[in-house]
């Protein structure tokens, strides 16, 4: 729960393992909506955080609902060496 007792918290970004996005957001952003960005000597920005960064530039707020609990489904594959 947020300090003020509310169930939502505004954030700069986050992972998209579980996300709801209004279709109007895509209308406000330039395509491509998801992309990888490589910064010289600073690493990479994944596609979900790139999307959040673009939302920030367009003054589109991002909120987290603190009541939602979700995991991440992964398929693990062992490749022969």
Q: Where are the domains of the chain?
A: 8-65
Distance CA 46, CA 53 (A): 10
Q: State pTM to two decimals.
A: 0.73
Tens digits of per-residue pLDDT, 17-62? Answer: 789 999 999 999 999 999 988 877 777 778 898 999 999 999 999 9
* pLDDT score of 21: 95
Q: Does 78 have pLDDT greater than 90?
A: no
Which letter does DSSP use for residue 78 in this model?
P
* pLDDT score of 6: 79
Distance CA 72, CA 64 (A): 16
Contact 66, 7 (CB under 8 A): yes
Q: Does 4 have pLDDT greater than 80?
A: no
Contact 35, 50 (CB under 8 A): yes
């Amino acid at each position: 729960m947020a300090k003020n007792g509310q169930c939502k918290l505004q954030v700069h970004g986050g992972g998209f393992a579980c996300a709801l996005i209004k279709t109007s957001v895509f209308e406000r952003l330039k395509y491509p909506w998801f992309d990888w960005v490589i910064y010289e000597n600073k690493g990479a920005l994944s596609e979900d955080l790139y999307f959040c960064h673009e939302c920030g530039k367009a003054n589109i707020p991002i909120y987290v609902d603190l009541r939602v609990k979700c995991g991440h489904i992964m398929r693990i594959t062992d490749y022969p060496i």
